[in-house]
């Protein structure tokens, strides 16, 4: 069947101020599988899955804050009223996939063990501090701090993290786990570490639907926080091998096998191009900037994907796995420093999207 839009708010622009490439809302994909789809798949514009199981439902991921989780639940009301949510599955530990968990704290929440270990890698109050601090940093024209401040406050602007309390899944698994709810089987497949430490795919064989989480970004630059890349590409090939009729990515529109192949092509291209620059002793930032600004990159379709500056994060992760001696700040400070480098590159790309992250002239 063709996906059918059911309900959702009317928005003329996306959360980040872009023209929507598809309509936001809850879609019925197959008789019992649904997806809450948020255009265009940029920062926090996360897709959520919902599977109806004869009077109960399974939710796959929650939103970045409570407001957007409630908005999603409002659109899903016709389904969840007749089939209340019984189980929540988190595909990974990024906040935009699990920070709405607290609305389901009395339900069973499942994730990989590695995802559970990573649940607290970022604190909601740190992001609130960055939201506020970012506005101040915008006026500090040194070491790219002004770019960083503008980038972070624009990225977080649609969200309210103030009431978020991270709610851990109680059920961990490794490798593979089958969950059967009223006779409907969901197969949870651990494919991380790759995008994060604890990535999982959720496959519903009877509906021929797979919820890919952030293994798949469509029309949006993919991110590899953890790696190694071999795991991430193996996950993408596993996703293709399922031959599901519907692939719901973590971000962006519903995916075809060609779209998944394009992500594999991106990773092959990024790896090859960055490795040449690694061998020429460029730092990850220099390599990413040199590549993204090059005519070679600009001639590819990847240059039109949202947030091309994520090449900086990808370069850092690849370099780490290549054994490069990096002098990065530890932990969260290191992540923030990579974001600062991403911000500098973002503002060197006047045509890249989302535009709201670049209405700024350092
Ligand atoms: Zn993610």
Q: Is it the case that residue 358 has pLDDT exceeding 70?
A: no
Q: How far is the CA of 100 from the centre of ligand 1 (A)?
A: 14
Q: How far is the CA of 94 from the centre of ligand 1 (A)?
A: 5
Q: What is the pLDDT of residue 327?
A: 75
Q: What is the pLDDT of residue 81?
A: 97
Closest among 120, 127, 76 to 98, alpha carbons compared: 120
| Structural domain for 33, as ranges | 4-122+166-255
How many whole angstroms separate alpha carbon 31 and alpha carbon 19?
30
28 upstream amide cis, omega within 30 of 0: no
Please report which confidence band the pLDDT of residue 252 belongs to, taking 50, 70 and 90 as the band edges: very high
Q: What angle do CA 304, 157, 93 make, to 5 degrees?
A: 75
Q: How far is the CA of 117 from the centre of ligand 1 (A)?
A: 15
Pull the structure tokens for residue 72.
């999603």
CATH of the domain at 216: 3.60.15.10
Q: Is the CB of residue 51 less than 8 Å from the CB of residue 34? A: yes
Q: How far is the CA of 88 from the centre of ligand 1 (A)?
A: 17
Q: What is the pLDDT of residue 137?
A: 64
Q: How far is the CA of 99 from the centre of ligand 1 (A)?
A: 12
Please report which confidence band the pLDDT of residue 359 belongs to, taking 50, 70 and 90 as the band edges: low
Q: What is the pLDDT of residue 192?
A: 95
Pairing, β 108-112 against β 85-89:
parallel
Q: What is the pLDDT of residue 350?
A: 75
Q: Does a structural domain hold residue 263?
A: no
Q: What is the pLDDT of residue 349?
A: 87
Q: How far is the CA of 215 from the centre of ligand 1 (A)?
A: 8
Q: How far is the CA of 86 from the centre of ligand 1 (A)?
A: 24
How many whole angstroms separate alpha carbon 71 and alpha carbon 64?
12
Q: How far is the CA of 312 from the centre of ligand 1 (A)?
A: 16
Q: Is it the case that residue 281 has pLDDT exceeding 90?
A: yes
Q: Is it the case that residue 87 has pLDDT exceeding 60?
A: yes
Q: Does a structural domain hold residue 347?
A: no
Q: Is it the case that residue 360 has pLDDT exceeding 70?
A: no
Q: Does a structural domain hold residue 226?
A: yes
Q: How far is the CA of 55 from the centre of ligand 1 (A)?
A: 30
Sign of the Cα pseudo-torsion (51, 57, 61, 65, in order): positive
- Weakest-pLDDT range from 94-98, 245-249, 330-334: 330-334
Average pLDDT value for the chain: 94
Q: How far is the CA of 281 from the centre of ligand 1 (A)?
A: 30
- Weakest-pLDDT range from 166-175, 271-280, 288-297, 334-343: 334-343
Q: How far is the CA of 247 from the centre of ligand 1 (A)?
A: 16
Q: Does a structural domain hold residue 159?
A: no
Pull the structure tokens for residue 60.
């796959």
- What is the mean predicted confidence (pLDDT) over 12-23? 94
Between 199 and 146, residue with greater pLDDT: 199
Q: Does a structural domain hold residue 268?
A: no
Q: How far is the CA of 110 from the centre of ligand 1 (A)?
A: 17
Q: What is the pLDDT of residue 139?
A: 65
- What is the mean predicted confidence (pLDDT) over 79-88? 98
Q: How far is the CA of 53 from the centre of ligand 1 (A)?
A: 26
Which residues share a beta bridge with 213?
249
Q: Does a structural domain hold residue 323?
A: no
Q: How far is the CA of 141 from the centre of ligand 1 (A)?
A: 30
Q: How far is the CA of 96 from the centre of ligand 1 (A)?
A: 7
Q: How far is the CA of 156 from the centre of ligand 1 (A)?
A: 15
Closest among 193, 273, 275 to 234, alpha carbons compared: 193
How many whole angstroms separate alpha carbon 151 and alpha carbon 106?
36
What are 347-350's contacts with CB under 8 Å, separation 24+? Answer: 347/147, 347/150, 347/151, 348/289, 348/293, 349/292, 349/293, 349/308, 349/309
Please report which confidence band the pLDDT of residue 200 belongs to, taking 50, 70 and 90 as the band edges: very high
Q: What is the pLDDT of residue 24?
A: 97
What total of structural domains would you count in the chain? 1
Q: Does a structural domain hold residue 338?
A: no
How many whole angstroms separate alpha carbon 65 and alpha carbon 157?
12
Could you read off the pLDDT of 107-129 as tens digits, one per residue? 999 999 999 999 999 999 988 98
Q: How far is the CA of 51 from the centre of ligand 1 (A)?
A: 21
Q: How far is the CA of 270 from the centre of ligand 1 (A)?
A: 19
Could you read off the pLDDT of 29-73 as tens digits, one per residue? 999 999 999 999 999 999 999 999 999 999 999 999 999 999 999
- What is the mean predicted confidence (pLDDT) over 172-181? 98
How many whole angstroms separate alpha carbon 12 and alpha carbon 347?
25
Could you read off the pLDDT of 292-345 as tens digits, one per residue? 999 999 999 999 999 999 999 999 999 999 999 877 777 778 888 999 999 999
Pull the structure tokens for residue 154.
């624009």
Q: Is the CB of residue 133 less than 8 Å from the CB of residue 99? A: no
Q: What is the pLDDT of residue 142?
A: 66
Q: Does a structural domain hold residue 211?
A: yes
Q: What is the pLDDT of residue 76?
A: 98
Q: How far is the CA of 250 from the centre of ligand 1 (A)?
A: 7
How many whole angstroms separate alpha carbon 41 and alpha carbon 263?
15
Q: What is the pLDDT of residue 244?
A: 98
Closest among 176, 188, 198 to 116, alpha carbons compared: 198
Q: How far is the CA of 204 from the centre of ligand 1 (A)?
A: 21
- What is the mean predicted confidence (pLDDT) over 253-273? 98
Pairing, β 108-112 against β 246-251:
unpaired
């Amino acid at each position: 069947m063709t996906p059918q839009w059911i309900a959702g708010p009317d928005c003329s622009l996306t959360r980040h101020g872009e023209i929507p490439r598809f309509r936001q809302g809850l879609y019925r994909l197959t008789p019992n599988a649904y997806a809450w789809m948020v255009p265009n798949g940029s920062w926090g514009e996360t897709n959520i899955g919902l599977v109806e199981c004869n009077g109960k439902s399974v939710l796959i991921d929650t939103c970045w804050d409570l407001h957007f989780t409630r908005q999603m639940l409002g659109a899903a009301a016709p389904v969840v009223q007749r089939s209340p949510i019984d189980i929540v599955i988190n595909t990974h530990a990024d906040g935009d996939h699990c920070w709405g968990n607290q609305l389901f704290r009395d339900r069973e929440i499942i994730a990989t063990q590695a995802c559970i270990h990573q649940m607290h890698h970022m604190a909601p109050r740190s992001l609130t501090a960055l939201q506020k601090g970012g506005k101040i940093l915008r006026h500090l024209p040194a070491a790219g701090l002004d770019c960083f401040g503008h980038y972070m406050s624009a990225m977080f602007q649609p969200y309210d993290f103030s009431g978020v309390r991270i709610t851990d899944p109680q059920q961990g698994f490794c490798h593979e786990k089958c969950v059967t709810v009223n006779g409907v089987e969901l197969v949870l497949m651990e494919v991380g570490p790759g995008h994060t430490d604890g990535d999982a795919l959720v496959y519903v064989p009877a509906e021929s639907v797979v919820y890919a989480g952030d293994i798949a970004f469509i029309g949006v630059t993919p991110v590899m926080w953890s790696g190694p890349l071999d795991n991430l590409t193996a996950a993408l090939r596993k996703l293709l091998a399922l031959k599901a009729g519907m692939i719901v990515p973590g971000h962006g529109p519903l995916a075809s096998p060609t779209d998944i192949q394009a992500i594999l092509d991106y990773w092959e291209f990024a790896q090859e191009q960055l490795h040449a620059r690694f061998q020429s002793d460029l730092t990850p930032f220099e390599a990413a900037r040199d590549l993204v600004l090059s005519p070679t990159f600009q001639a590819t379709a990847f240059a039109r994907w949202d947030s091309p500056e994520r090449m900086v994060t990808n370069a850092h992760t690849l370099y780490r796995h290549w054994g490069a001696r990096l002098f990065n700040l530890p932990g969260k400070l290191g992540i923030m420093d990579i974001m600062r480098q991403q911000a500098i590159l973002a503002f060197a790309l006047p045509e890249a999207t989302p535009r709201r992250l670049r209405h700024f002239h350092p």
